[in-house]
Homo-oligomer: A and B are copies of this chain.
Amino acid sequence: MVVFIVKSNTAKTKFLLKDLPGSGKRIDILCRCVNSAFCLSHDIRKDVILYLCFAGKTIKFVGKELKHLTPDERGIAILIRKALEGNPTPGVYVSEKSFQDTLLESGKEIIYLDERGEDISHLKLKKDMCFVLGDHLGFDREDQKILEKIGKKISISPKILHADHCIIVVHNFLDRS
């Protein structure tokens, strides 16, 4: 089971479907992370768990239980909204767990993505890892401190990529390993 944890410093729990980046303070990135984590052509990756941590909430998506997931941003934003309103669809769970508690609970080897890290090709990849990603602003100082203590810093590209693109690249390394 591969786990992804995405932390957003800006995203909001209230947003307009017709303005996800503005009204949701870049919740569009988190929607695309759901797509990247689970969507295959005509299939869902069942061996993935994704946590989105933002605005004091953590939304957990469990691949093998997911239903009604469509790959489009608006469809995923509707799933997130339903979950936040207390009507989650199967496989989606909302809690008030902090990012740091989510990290500590994963019980897996923590790999956090940072362009200054060691290249992923040097990492002995296992399906049983937890990959941690920041948003367009990166990790804040407090999160960074914890990650430095418990995780390994890995780079996946010489370019700085969006979190949803990073998930695709990590999947490709895992799929090929």
Contacts and interface: CB of A to CB of B under 8 A. Distances in A.
Interface of A: 17-18, 20-21, 28-29, 32, 35-36, 39-43, 70-75, 121, 136, 156-162, 165, 168-169, 171-172, 175-176
A162 B44 CA distance: 11
Contacts of A172: 156-157, 169, 172
A70 B74 CA distance: 15
Contact of A72 (B73, B75, B136, B171): B73
Contacts of A175: 157-159
A165 B168 contact: yes
Q: How many copies does the complex hold?
A: 2
B36 A165 contact: yes
16 contacts: A17-B18, A21-B71, A21-B75, A28-B73, A29-B71, A32-B32, A36-B165, A40-B159, A42-B160, A74-B74, A121-B176, A157-B175, A158-B175, A161-B168, A165-B168, A169-B172
A136 B161 CA distance: 25
Contacts of A162: 39-41, 71
A16 to B, nearest CB: 11
Contacts of A168: 161, 165, 168-169
